[in-house]
């Protein structure tokens, strides 16, 4: 009785130690370029029961392929319950190259990959089982989902995405033509742009000795200054140095009589603010923020008994703006003195002043102050002569300054043979 029991126990032990049937898959793998494949095959499967009723648990195994040599033993799946498949992923060079599905039959002889490879559609149609996977079962999934940005209350399709204060994504608010700022706000595009000055004539005496000249404005940035002498571009440091709007020429580059000095540069308008003239600020930086001599020199002479031009000063279009002021000064000399003379200053189409001098007035002078407003200018003047009484007055002119303006000093003599000469005139603009 005891021996029979021992025999039965031995049979059960032998049955428990018996391995499930295995099929060998052995092959040589190549790449498309003819070289041998080296890498790993990751083979995974779901739980199934083999033909000998062995319970095969869901698992994954990795097979190393060296120089194309593949050898692996697997439990047949074509006779499994339920029918099962192996999912095979080929990896090489540190990444998954491709994947395929195997159906392994029972075989005493080694099989090649082509014998077990099946179309993925066939495997999908045969797999009627469904498995529910909880988020918590996937390692790292919960933390990854928590790290992703969420839709905020203002999220909208077709809008620029911005991140709100809580880290959620929202759509930028504004009109279709607005620009989005880095803080997520929006507003009209653009801003205060830099001003450009081209062909700015430097102020200073060109006599071969003077080395200090002044620009009409302060270049910003400093490197934007392009300074030309007789059309030749000068080099900073080597030919000159710049301090604000003052140009200091080096000893070997001092301008000589007859030289022409022109400059082009940019100005920074970032400090402009406000829009009301009563507040003392303007909507944009002044184009020429420093005083400048607009015109100066000697004029011509006339012996005409009708008004003739003795000297002019052309104010460029757009040069004057509200808040600017012009100081106009000129001096006259009367020759022969057989009779008297008259002189006038014309501000565009407006005659600012008219004086009639006597024969004894060998010299005369006039000063005109022009205050530029939003429309036109207010003009005040004073004049006198050697015997001509001091005279003053104030008026206004509605000439359009946007298209430019010409100042014209005119004069006549009462007796033929007399001369009236414009000895000197200066026009200075103050911002």
SS (H, E, C) the chain: CHHHHHHHHHHHHHHHHCCCCCEEEEEECECCCCCECCEEEEEEECCEECCCCCEECCEEEEEEEECCEEEEEECCCCCCECCCCEEEEEEECCEEEEEEEECCCCCCCCECHHHHEECHHHHHHHCCCCCCCCHHHCCCHHHHHHHCCCECCCCCCCCCEEECCCCCEEECCCCCCEEECCCCCEEECCCCCCEEEEEEECECCCCCCCCEEECCCCCCCHHHCEEEECCEECCECCCEEEECCEEEECHHHCCCCCCCEEEEEEECCCCCCCCCHHHCCCCCCCCCCCCEEEEEECCCEECCCCCEEEEEEEECCCCCCCCCEEEEEEEEEEECCCCCEEEEEEECCEEEEEEEECCCCCEEEEEEEEEECCCCEEEEEEEEECCCCCEEEEEEECCCHHHCEEEEEEEEECCCCCEEEEEEEEEEEEC
What pLDDT sits at residue 158? 78
Task: Lowest mean pLDDT of 123-127, 237-241, 302-306, name the range.
Answer: 123-127
Question: What confidence tens digit (pLDDT) does each residue in 192-218 have?
Answer: 556 788 889 999 999 999 999 999 888
Question: What confidence tens digit (pLDDT) does each residue in 114-146 have?
Answer: 999 987 654 444 445 556 777 777 878 888 887
pTM of the model: 0.39
What pLDDT sits at residue 192? 53
Partner residues linked to 329 by β-bridges: 367, 426
Q: Which domains does the chain have, with CATH numbers?
A: 19-126 (2.60.40), 195-267 (no CATH), 292-430 (2.60.120.200)
Please, what is the end-to-end C-alpha distance for the chain in angstroms?
128
Kindly indicate the confidence band of residue 412, based on its pLDDT and cuts at 50, 70 and 90. Answer: very high
What pLDDT sits at residue 166? 81
What pLDDT sits at residue 19? 84
Residue 423: pLDDT over 60: yes
Kindly indicate the confidence band of residue 14, based on its pLDDT and cuts at 50, 70 and 90. Answer: very low
CB 347 within 8 A of CB 379: yes
Query: Taking residues 90-112, what's their average pLDDT?
Result: 90
What pLDDT sits at residue 26? 96
């Amino acid at each position: 009785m005891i021996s029979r029991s021992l025999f039965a126990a031995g049979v059960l032990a032998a049955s428990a130690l018996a391995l499930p049937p295995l099929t060998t898959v052995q092959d040589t793998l190549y790449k498309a370029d003819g070289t041998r494949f080296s890498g790993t095959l990751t083979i995974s499967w779901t739980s199934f029961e083999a033909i000998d009723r062995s319970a095969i648990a869901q698992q994954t195994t990795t097979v190393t392929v060296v120089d194309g040599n593949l050898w692996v033993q697997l439990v047949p799946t074509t006779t499994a319950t339920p029918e099962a498949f192996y999912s095979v992923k080929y990896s090489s060079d540190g990444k998954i190259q491709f994947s395929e599905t195997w159906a392994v039959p029972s075989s005493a002889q080694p099989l090649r990959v082509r014998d077990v490879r099946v179309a993925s559609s066939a495997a999908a149609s045969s797999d009627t089982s469904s498995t529910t996977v909880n988020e918590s079962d996937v390692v790292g999934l919960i933390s990854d989902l928590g790290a992703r940005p969420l839709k905020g209350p203002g999220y909208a399709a077709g809008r620029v995405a911005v991140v709100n204060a809580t880290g959620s994504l929202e759509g930028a608010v504004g009109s279709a033509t607005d620009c989005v700022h880095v803080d997520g706000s929006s507003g009209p595009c653009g801003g205060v742009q830099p001003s450009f000055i081209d062909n700015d004539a430097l102020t200073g005496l060109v006599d071969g000795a003077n080395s200090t000249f002044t620009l009409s404005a302060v270049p910003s940035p400093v490197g934007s200054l392009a300074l030309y002498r007789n059309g030749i571009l000068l080099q900073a440091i080597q030919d000159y140095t710049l301090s604000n709007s003052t140009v200091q020429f080096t000893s070997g580059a001092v301008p000589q009589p007859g030289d022409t000095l022109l400059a082009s540069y940019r100005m920074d308008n970032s400090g402009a603010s406000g829009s009301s003239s009563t507040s003392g600020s303007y909507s944009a930086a002044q184009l020429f923020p420093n005083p400048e001599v607009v015109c100066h020199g000697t004029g011509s002479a006339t012996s005409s008994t009708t008004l003739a031009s003795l000297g002019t000063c052309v104010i460029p279009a757009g040069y004057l703006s509200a808040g600017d002021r012009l100081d106009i000064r000129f001096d006259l000399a009367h020759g022969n003195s057989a009779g008297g003379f008259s002189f006038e200053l014309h501000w565009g189409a407006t005659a600012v002043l008219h004086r009639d001098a006597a024969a004894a007035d060998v010299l005369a002078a006039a000063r005109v102050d022009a205050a530029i407003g939003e429309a036109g200018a207010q003009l005040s003047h004073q004049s006198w002569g050697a015997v001509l009484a001091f005279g003053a007055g104030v008026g206004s002119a509605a000439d359009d300054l946007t298209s430019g303006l010409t100042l014209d000093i005119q004069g006549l003599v009462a007796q033929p043979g007399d001369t009236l000469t414009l000895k000197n005139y200066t026009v200075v603009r103050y911002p």
